[in-house]
């Protein structure tokens, strides 16, 4: 079962946090690819490993979505866009 969690860290810790998630994703990807190094002659075992890999790939996908969202938020926090200048327009008749 997968769960989504919230974590509070300092802004300057975000790049390291992102790197950790990427490293874990890469490790899971390598581990998953190793599971496919199996003969198809034992069909039940092979199918079970394939399902395990699908589950791992889904988790990796979620982790990379987190990386995208966190990176976007970090970039926006470091590069705030100025609020639009709302000048009242006076219409003349």
Q: Tell me the domain boundaries of the chain.
A: 11-76
Tens-digit pLDDT profile for residues 12-68: 999 999 999 999 999 999 999 998 888 889 999 999 999 999 999 999 999 999 999
| DSSP code at position 11 | G
* Sign of the dihedral through C-alpha 58, 52, 28, 26: negative
Contact present, 59 and 32 (Cβ < 8 Å): no
Assigned token pair, 75: 């970039």
pLDDT of residue 89: 58
pTM: 0.79
Spatial distance between the Cα atoms of 15 and 68, rounded to a whole number of angstroms: 12
φ, ψ (nearest 5 deg) of residue 57: -65, -35
């Amino acid at each position: 079962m997968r769960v989504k969690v919230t974590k509070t860290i300092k802004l300057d810790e975000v790049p390291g946090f992102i790197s950790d998630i990427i490293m874990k994703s890469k490790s899971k990807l390598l581990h998953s690819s190793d599971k496919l190094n199996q003969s198809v002659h034992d069909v039940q075992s092979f199918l079970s490993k394939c399902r395990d890999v699908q589950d791992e790939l889904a988790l990796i996908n979620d982790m990379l979505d987190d990386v995208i969202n966190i990176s976007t938020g970090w970039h926006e926090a470091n590069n705030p866009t100025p609020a639009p200048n709302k000048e009242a327009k006076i219409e003349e008749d």
